[in-house]
Amino acid sequence: MLPRRSFTWILLLFIIFSALFNPSSSNNYWTAKRMRMREKVRRMFYHAYDNYMTYAFPHDELKPLTKTFTNSLSELGNLKLEHLPQNYNGSALTLIESLSSLVILGNNTEFQKAVLWLSENLRFDVDARINLFECNIRVLGGLVSAHVLATDSTNRLPRESYKNQLLVLAEDLGNRFLPAFNTPTGLPYAWINLKHGVMENETTETSSSGCGSLILEMGALSQLTGDPRFESAALRALRKLWSMRSSLNLLGTTLDVETGEWIEFSSGIGAGVDSFYEYLFKAHVLFGKEEFWRMFHTAYLAVQKYFRHGPWYHEADMRTGRATHWQLTSLQAFWPGLQVLVGDIPAANSSHREFFHVWEKYGVLPERYLLDYQMLHPTEKYYPLRPELAESTFYLYQATKDPWYFEVGESIMKSLILYTKVEGGFASVRDVTTMQLEDHQHSFFLSETCKYLYLLFDDSFLVDQNYIFTTEGHPLPVLSSWHERLPEVYGLTNGTSIKGENSSRRSSAMSLQVCPATSLNTAGDGDQQLESACHILDARADHKCFSNEECGVDSTTCRRRSCSSSGYCGHWLRL
């Protein structure tokens, strides 16, 4: 007979192991945890939103420490509040940015109230200088997305109360953008006055993101209004920018819109160029143009070849490919999410874990981290509530269904509550070493950070739906009516395809959700090989090498190849 104490321990262990190895028990645990986390994110969103509505609305953004407001869209143009027109009360930026988040959180009542207020009060005929890129992704994107959500089949708004008012506002704003594109190159000015157009002596300097990341919002506006001018202007600028790439298929960071000359030749996947890569791929999905895929695939291979170093991405000179800055910037954390959409899951997971390691080290993600010195940048130690790590975490969970990403999301959420939540909202972090706060709650905290965390724990909004999220987190629907018509027999010329005996059908790692490449057995086609976008060729056709830098990335495993002691690239066993 066993002693009573021993019997108790054995029974306890039996219960624990039964729970661990019972799939339904495990599923119940994660389901319950997801619901708890979802409700915490919901409370985060409304703490930020309600304080904005109380202390800052209808101005642009909330200052949570002093419970006041800032008209940030105009201040981006270095205009002080006292220089703005007397009747200018802001653009209700945070309200516009919150529209799709309200829908995703299921608050159709507040969504309806916000739409009706904007319909009656928002006007763009104001003497204010704004940043074209920021106004495009935040205001135009927010209005277009909200219009789509207001008119979809769910009947969120009564038909008698909504008569396309948001689309009318979006079209008015789009028309005010068009003078910015009147340059010899077709590349738009970075700044424009909403009432007077391009001002005299306006700066001609812009970024690759600023002129190459307009196609989603302006293209969607053209599709919805039937006016092709918006998409044409954005597409002309994008094509011009792409034509300025180097022989290595790399772009710089800043350029002159009048001369079409590069100003800053060093670039990476972070600030100044990040959303250019993002919009190439997402435009291919949204509009179905093969041109966008060819651009993206070429650019992606160049990034993998010249910027990637293990799980990190440094910056390099577009002319030579030589590394210039070995640093992590917080905006780079969007890249794993983009790689998930492409299908390059192993590379996405590898980089994401490194970003999360830095998050854990400091409690939040610093704006700039010097990889070669393993230290913070001395002047860029802030964290402005950026969403990119949460965004990539959401995409990686969707691709892998690995519950570890719930743990990552929970860690991000706890840090935000612990370090940035104040009585008046959520404040940016001025210095991650001291957690000193700054008096600013950016609108993207509501449009992206809270949204991606919520979708991580509750993705019911996406069930039976197909959306592409803009760089500001605004959902746009993937509709066949927005796609170019393709011939019935169609084969990719610069991508991946699966060909049958009698026809070719469009196919890629992204569309088939296969990566790394897998041997596919399709009816009548036999055993076909699908190559993923992560493939990088070895420098030499005979695979000879002198260093690892001359070896590429394998097409079937997405693993980087290395140079052996005998001078050949391959996957070598290291003992």
Q: What is the pLDDT of residues 224-256, one digit of tens each?
A: 999 999 999 999 999 999 999 999 999 999 999
Q: Among 477, 492, 509, where does a domain finish?
A: 477
Q: Which of 231, 278, 344, 367 is catalytic?
A: 367
298 located within any domain: yes
Q: Tell me, yes or no, if 290 is annotated catalytic.
A: no
> Could you list the residue range(s) of the whole structural domain that residue 373 is in?
32-477
409 located within any domain: yes
Q: Tell me, yes or no, if 367 is annotated catalytic.
A: yes
Any residues with CB less than 8 A from the CB of 264 and at least 6 apart, and which?
Answer: 252, 253, 254, 255, 272
Amino acid letter, 424: G
Q: Which of 61, 171, 231, 274 is catalytic?
A: 274
Task: Point out the residues of the chain with pLDDT beneath 50.
Answer: 2, 75-86, 88, 486-531, 573-575
Q: Among 460, 477, 494, where does a domain finish?
A: 477
Q: What is the dihedral of CA 444, 449, 454, 455, to 10 degrees?
A: 90
Q: Are residues 446 and 563 in the same domain?
A: no
Q: Are residues 556 and 435 in the same domain?
A: no
Q: Are residues 266 and 187 in the same domain?
A: yes
314 located within any domain: yes
What are the CA-CA distances from residue 311 to residues 126, 217, 229 (Å)?
46, 31, 41
- CA-nearest of 281, 307, 369 to 536 is 307
Q: Are residues 436 and 562 in the same domain?
A: no
Which tokens hold the place of 558? 């997405």
Task: Tell whether omega for the bond before 58 is within 30 degrees of 0, i.e. cis.
Answer: yes
Q: Are residues 68 and 209 in the same domain?
A: yes
Q: Are residues 463 and 551 in the same domain?
A: no
Q: What is the pLDDT of residue 19?
A: 52
Rounded to an integer, what distance in angstroms lies between the CA atom of residue 430 and that of residue 384? 8
Q: Which of 110, 171, 344, 388 is catalytic?
A: 388
What DSSP string describes 291-350? Answer: HHHHHHHHHHHHHHHHTEETTEE-EEETTT--EEE-EEEGGGGGHHHHHHHHT-HHHHHH
Angle in degrees, CA 40, 432, 422, rounded to 5: 40
Q: Tell me, yes or no, if 274 is annotated catalytic.
A: yes
pTM of the predicted model over 0.75: yes
How many domains does one find in the chain? 2
Which tokens hold the place of 77? 């143009």
Rounded to an integer, what distance in angstroms lies between the CA atom of residue 563 and that of residue 318? 25
Q: Are residues 443 and 552 in the same domain?
A: no
Q: Are residues 188 and 84 in the same domain?
A: yes
Determine contact, residues 437/385, Cβ cutoff 8 Å. Answer: no
Rg (CA), the chain: 25
70 located within any domain: yes
471 is in an annotated binding site: yes
Q: Among 477, 507, 535, where does a domain finish?
A: 477
Q: Are residues 207 and 312 in the same domain?
A: yes
Q: Are residues 234 and 346 in the same domain?
A: yes
CATH number for the domain that contains residue 424? 1.50.10.10
537 located within any domain: no
Q: Tell me, yes or no, if 388 is annotated catalytic.
A: yes
149 located within any domain: yes
435 located within any domain: yes
400 located within any domain: yes
Q: What is the dihedral of CA 503, 288, 298, 542, to 10 degrees?
A: -20
Which tokens hold the place of 449? 């950070």
Q: Are residues 434 and 559 in the same domain?
A: no
Q: What is the pLDDT of residue 46?
A: 98
Q: Are residues 110 and 198 in the same domain?
A: yes
Q: What is the pLDDT of residue 486?
A: 46
Rounded to an integer, what distance in angstroms lies between the CA atom of residue 149 and that of residue 443? 20
Q: Which of 61, 97, 134, 278 is catalytic?
A: 134
Angle in degrees, CA 235, 236, 240, rounded to 5: 115
